[in-house]
Amino acid sequence: MEHWYHRPAQRAQLQPSTADVDPMAAIEPIPNLTQPLPEAAEDQPHSGADKPIPAAMWLSHHWEQDHAERCVQVAGHPVCRRCLALYPLGLLVAVLSAAGYPPWPVEWDPAPIWILSIPATVTFIGEVLGLIAYSARWQVVTTLVAAIAYGRALGYEFVERWSPEFWEPIAVFGGLWFFAAYFGFRSNR
């Protein structure tokens, strides 16, 4: 796919020769992200999915058949329930922690960050490996607990770049989640 910045004629328009030329006029408008992607041509290689991925999938990252179970509707768009529980609370805790209002005494760190990440990890791994049944309520509860840990760790990252309090749990639990999802997907194929 050719983007506007690859086309010499459009690039030249971004370099005005006089001061009275508006450089923003040459930029193409952002496409409507709520519209589904166009169908691929028959002679192009197929990505492996049966139908094109809707552009709104970035809000849910779940297939359409899973929206009713795994997502909530926000302004008519499916949004991942786990992300909706994790990121708003996590960002709030991170901002408060970076501002000097952590959810627990600083002397306790990093133990609560690691401990509070365990329930969501056990739930996720159990679900994707088929060991436990999916429960939206259990998912939200364990994710809210993990959001506090995530936010506290992210607060460290806001204050000190490449903070081990943030990156070590992310690497360990993120790795566990990734490999569980990988093996869960492979066994369900």
> Coil, strand or helix: which one is 129?
coil
Beta-sheet strands, E only, within 12-142: 71-74, 77-80
Pairing of strands 71-74, 77-80: antiparallel
**CA–CA separation, 40 and 50 (whole Å):** 11
| Residue 52 identity (one-letter amino acid) | P
**CA–CA separation, 172 and 179 (whole Å):** 11
CA angle centred on 177, ends 172 and 180, rounded to 5°: 120
pTM for the model stands at: 0.69
**What is the longest distance spanned by two Cα atoms in the chain?**
67
Contact by Cβ (8 Å): 84, 139:
no
Q: What is the pLDDT of residue 54?
A: 54
User: Which tens digits make up the pLDDT trace of 127-169?
Assistant: 999 999 999 999 999 999 999 999 999 999 999 999 999 999 9
Helix ranges restricted to H, 77-132:
81-98, 111-128
Listed residue (151, 171, 167, 49) closest to 97, CA to CA: 151
Listed residue (27, 31, 30) closest to 13, CA to CA: 27
Q: Which two tokens stand for residue 4?
A: 């506007």
Contact by Cβ (8 Å): 143, 120:
yes
> Which pLDDT tens digits describe the chain residue by residue (189 residues)?
444 334 444 444 444 455 555 555 555 555 555 555 555 455 455 444 455 555 556 667 877 888 888 899 888 888 999 999 999 999 999 999 999 999 999 999 999 999 999 999 999 999 999 999 999 999 999 999 999 999 999 999 999 999 999 999 999 999 999 999 999 988 876
